[in-house]
Structure 1
Amino acid sequence: MFYATFFNMAARIGDFDFRKFRHILMTITISISVVVECVTADDADVEWGEHLLCRNCGHEVAKASDLINVPSPHALLQRNETIMGRDVLLQIFQNPGGLQFDLITTSSALVQSMNQKYPADTWFDNYTWRLVKCIRCQVHLGWCYEPGDKLQAKCHNCDKVNEAITEKMRFFGLILNRVIHQQYADSLVMSPKFYGG
């Protein structure tokens, strides 16, 4: 789009030298690739795609470092997948309505949890679940799992201790086809083709 707009503007000016235009574009392209290659590996992890994004709107949902493996005996199928350079346990679950979901688990996620907790029909024993949605577009991304009564510490007048334990033991089950790897999303952005003479 940029190239076409620039080309159209230059053509209207008159005395347009296509070879000079091509040389300028080649110089800009080389300069940009040199700058990109100078980014350190640490910066690349932070800047260039170590996030899972909401497939619907692109909101950053979780970091690669948040991926964890929480196996469940209720999974129909379990297999290891490489996601964002990490070995991740992918589990397939079926809800009571017959819908199946490919689930990965994370220690944290930037999502909105619904208020209602459900102890029934949980895929992870002794955990309650809540629906979670994308903060930006409100699409259902998965579930938040928190320890049920059996896992919470029993302490008289220690609500803060129970909250801390619940927070530490909380994890998220994200539906794999509702999120997308940031590097993959970035690769979908296409630059215009340049045809020269």
Structure 2
Amino acid sequence: MQIINNPLPCSFLKSSPPGTNSGIEVADKDELRESEKKAITCRECGARITDTSFSTKVNDNHEHSFFNPHGYVFQIRCFSAATGCATSGPPSNEFTWFAGYTWQISSCSKCREHLGWRFQSNTSSFYGLIKDRIKE
């Protein structure tokens, strides 16, 4: 797992130059069979957010860690879909952790707990869900 020091609070760090390969790949089919359809739920209220069959790799990793200057570490897991999330706010490319992607805040559709972010480029999108706010 890669840890990147982010100089701005609760912001996002640029990781590679725009225009490079998105680095998003769907998990291996054998991996999907083993973990197919295991529910991922909101740790706060138990609502279904996604399932493990939507696990995806971004820049060769399913999990990423970033932290801000206040010492808050965000360990995120990447998913290609999260139907239990409500996305809010305008898309922003300011301090994105993933070059070429804008981000929006994603919260639990049921209890509104902040669960992570939806990242979107011109060609793809994924959810980065905060590991300790979701439960398998």
Q: How does 1:89-168 map to 2 (within 5 A)?
A: 89-95=62-68, 98-110=71-83, 111-147=85-121, 152=122, 165=123
Structure 1: runs of 5+ lacking an equivalent: 1-41, 73-87, 153-164, 182-197
> Cα RMSD between the aligned structures?
2.0
Which residue type is aligned with residue 41 of structure 2? L
Alignment of 1:69-88 (within 5 A): 69-71=57-59
Q: TM-score, normalised by structure 1?
A: 0.47
Give the structure 2 partner of residue 161 of structure 1: none
Structure with bigger strand share is 2
Runs of 4+ in 1 over 3 A off after TM superposition: 95-98
- Unpaired runs of 5+ residues, structure 2, are 1-32
Identical positions, percent: 30
Match of 1:171 in 2: 126
Q: Are the counterparts in 1 of residues 103 and 120 from structure 2 also a CA contact under 8 Å? A: yes
Letter in 2 for 1:109: A
Residues of 2 paired with 1:57 and 1:107: CA distance?
22
Larger RCO (CA within 8 A; separation ≥ 6): 2
State the alpha-carbon separation in 2 of the partners of residues 96 and 127 from structure 1. Answer: 22
Match of 1:68 in 2: 56
> Which protein is bigger by CA-based radius of gyration?
1
- Following TM superposition, by how much is the alpha carbon of 1:115 offset from its aligned partner in structure 2, in angstroms? 2.9
Q: What are the Cα deviations for residues 80-134 of structure 1, in whole angstroms up to 9, with x where unaligned?
A: xxxxxxxx73211124654210111000002000031111111001101000000
Q: Deviations over 1:9-55 (max 9, x none)?
A: xxxxxxxxxxxxxxxxxxxxxxxxxxxxxxxxx9xx65xxx110000
Query: What code does the residue aligned with 1:120 have?
Result: E
The answer on whether the counterparts of 1:96 and 1:121 sit within 8 Å (CA) in structure 2 is no
